[in-house]
Amino acid sequence: MAGTSAWLRRAAGARRAFSALRQGGLVPTQAHACHAITCTFAGPPQRRELHRGRRVDGASGNAVSSTWLEAPGASKLPPQVVKFVQDAVDLCKPAAVHVCNGSDAENQLMLDQLEQDGVVTKLAKRPGCYAARSDPADVARSMQDTFICSPEESDAGPLNNWVAPADMRAELGDLFDGCMAGRTMYVLPFCMGPLGAPAAKLCVQVTDSAYVVANLRIMTRMGDVALERIAAEGAIELVHSVGQPLGEGEKSVTWPCNIPKRKIVHFTDTKEVWSFGSGYGGNALLGKKCVALRIASMQAKEEGWLAEHMLILGITSPEGVKRYICAAFPSACGKTNLAMLKPSLPGWKVECVGDDIAWLRFDETGQLRAINPENGFFGVAPGTSYATNPSAVEMIRTNTLFTNCGITEDGDVYWEGMKDSPTSALTDWKGNENWAPQTGEDGKLANPAAHPNARFTVPLQQCPVLDDEWDGPNGVPIDAIVFGVRRDNTQPLVYETLGWEHGVFVGATMRSNATAAADGTGLENDPMAMQPFIGYNVKDYFDHWLKSPANAQANLAPGAELKVPKIFHTNWFIKDDEGGFLWPGYAENSRAIDWIFKRLADEEGTAEMSPIGWMPSNGALDIKSYAGDGMKGFGDAELERALAVDKERWLEECTEIRSYFTNKLMNGCDTPVPPQLFEQLDALEERLRHA
């Protein structure tokens, strides 16, 4: 367990360990309503300047408080957690400390406090549901403010922002010094993954945001349940602050943040995350993308597994054959909809294990297995409806936190894509009352009621199609991996790759239209849908994927045979000549899954070779059976177009891929792109030229 104070002492040198206040200035006061111990200044906090780790105002001595140890629950914390929290208290100087136990009573107290403070609105029409509005500047991930601070710049690679760890630690020391003044520090122990799973990872996060607490309680196994394993195994240390300390008597704004100084920092050698200035999503819920992908991807490389931005679903055919599939799509590209798919083809059943993150490893029998490290859904609200995801609509009727949705006067939420318009007056996600839709000069909606990245946070257990093995300690067996993109053209509806190495190449060269989940625009390279989340050099990441079967082979039990899953690629978002979507998608995606099942069973006559891989043969992808309204207007001609491989466009794609490999990935970074990927690119170009 990394000691928070240790790194700041190393980085700041002469600064004497986070003096909080004037000597002797901490006095405990009562805060029983939220089970916290409050630490009160003997006088107003001093304004200080920090210069190269040294105080320049002549402040001297420490007034380090240990009164937080009197807070309910503090006595249960393992010694290493006590040290971490003490270090954080000394640095951040909160007014109170609350040790979270994860109970229902505590959660209700938290929600009541958030409602009292105006952060959330209780929704009369949805039992147990609340809606929050963020600052309009704090609405999504911010990659320019996200850093991988590995020991060497080459370890971070060309796709990550890198700062030398010592420099970043000194900068963070200044940012976090006193950052929680006037606020409560919440201590959250939690587990990523099923509590009994050997592969689970333990964490402790401190934060000054009750909104974060309420969300993390849904997204993780949080509270006392995680402490036994933390005591035995240690934990990843996570520090988060909204970055808006309060002066004496100062009242907080509804959504505190400090966007100009926002930083989300990962120290991959010590497995720490520090986040400052944002209270939203993955910037603040540090167990999600920060731990479960960026830190976990580094751990996976070191330990021989894969941490991936993938959904996990179980699919049962009409014949009773059940298979599990992992699928990697960029954020806001339909992962949640696919994870809860209601098939249009009768007799098919889809059950959800997870919709966003998968941790995969080959076991000693040679089977690739996956667990979902999360305990909830953090789904995109706009576009969610009975037509697109009926299971999600049912799931979020109760016990859900909504963020940046429209709120109706009669106590409901609203977003674009719902079937029905709001039945009462509506306040939009920015707080503008009496919202009415306005059309811009381009003919599109100019003032959406909900932000395009508006979210719902809901417990996994509320999913009506939850798989029985969702919480299994050993995970589920994976038969196939699917990479998917959002492309207007070029990439066909579905195809099968030529094997593991070719499949890794296909995943490594994914390009997709940017979405509202991040702050990019246009067509972006997004290898394995992991570009924002790879915690180390992307070229080493590719190499790790390529070597995974061989590494697994070396660890098989005697007599076991390696079961390497097939890899497929999909694109539900092909555009027609009018700019609309050619493929109906949603429930009809079960037709592509039906074909994938045929390929997993090695059914003869179901595929034919193309330059890019195995394509559905004539009649193998069923568009005729039970073709209701969803397939209206989609016939053989449309299918031919959806499966077309345009030679010229693909040759242009190859040029873009080669430029990506040689220019983008080799720019200022000597780590080579694995030669197998260049070999696959050369082979693809050769097949296209001879097509």
Give the angle 54-58-64 at the CA atoms, nearest 5°.
Answer: 75
201 as an active site residue: the answer is: no
List 130, 186, 211, 280, catalytic entry: 280
CB 360 within 8 A of CB 305: yes
**Calpha distance 290→263 (Å, rounded):** 12
DSSP state of 161: B
Residue 569 annotated as catalytic = no
H/E stretch holding 340 reads none
Residue type, 244: Q
Residue 424 backbone dihedrals phi, psi, to 5 degrees: -140, 175
Burial class (CB in 10 A: 0-12, 13-18, 19+), 370: buried
Contacts of 686 (CB under 8 A, 6+ apart): none
**Is residue 515 within 8 Å of residue 335, measured between CB atoms?**
no
**Quick one: which H or E segment has residue 369?**
strand 368-371
Interatomic CA distance for residues 131 and 147, integer angstroms: 30
CB 345 within 8 A of CB 594: yes
Q: Give 322's strand partners.
A: 316
Is 83 noted as a catalytic residue in this protein? no
* Closest to 495 in 3D by CA, of 567, 407, 445: 567
How many other CB atoms are found less than 10 A from the CB of residue 192?
A: 28
> Is 410 one of the catalytic residues?
no
Cα distances (Å, whole numbers) of residue 281 to 98, 272, 401: 22, 18, 12
Q: Give me the DSSP letters along 631-660.
A: GTT--HHHHHHHT---HHHHHHHHHHHHHI
Query: 83, 39, 46: which is closest to 61 by C-alpha?
Result: 46
Catalytic residue among 126, 141, 487, 591: 141
- From the candidates 35, 289, 369, 502, which is the catalytic residue? 289
Q: Distance of alpha carbon 387 from its chain centroid, rounded? A: 25
Q: Of the listed 266, 455, 544, 569, which one is catalytic? A: 455
Distance in angstroms (rounded) separating the CA atoms of residues 358 and 356: 7
d(CA 613, CA 482): 14
Place of tokens 């909080």: 20
Two tokens, residue 548 = 């995974």
- Of 209, 331, 344, 391, the catalytic one is 331
Torsion angle defined by CA atoms of residues 583, 587, 588 and 591, in that order, rounded to the nearest 10 degrees: 140
3-state SS assignment for residue 449: coil
Q: Please state, in angstroms and as integers, the Cα–Cα distance from residue 218 to each residue in 214, 370, 404, following that order.
A: 7, 21, 18
Residue 272 sits at the vertex; the CA angle it makes with 270 and 274, to the nearest 5 degrees, is: 145
Q: Please identify which residue in the block is written with the tokens 């053989």.
A: 636
- 280 counts as catalytic: yes
Whether residue 331 lies in the annotated active site: yes
Residue pair 75/39 in contact by the 8 Å Cβ criterion: no
Q: How many CA atoms lie within 13 A of 47 on its CB side?
A: 1
Q: What is the SS3 assignment for 573-625?
A: CCECCCCCECCCCHHHHHHHHHHHHHHHCCCCCCEEEECCEEEECCCCCCCCC
Tokens for 118, please give them: 């105006």
Choice among 34, 39, 257, 333 that is catalytic: 333
CA distances from 562 to 140, 323, 371, 553, 565 (A): 40, 17, 19, 6, 10
Decide if 266 contacts 293 (C-beta within 8 A): no
Which residue in 356, 412, 479, 594 is the catalytic one? 356
Any catalytic annotation for residue 455? yes
Rounded to the nearest angstrom, the gap between the alpha carbon of residue 213 and the centroid of all alpha carbons in its chain is 17
Which is the catalytic residue, given 309, 486, 502, 591? Answer: 309
Are 353 and 467 spatial neighbours (Cβ–Cβ below 8 Å)?
Answer: yes
In the DSSP assignment, the letter for residue 49 is -
Active site residue 333: yes
Instruction: Give the separation between CA 465 and CA 473, rounded to whole angstroms.
Output: 19
Residues assigned a catalytic role? 141, 280, 289, 309, 331, 333, 356, 455
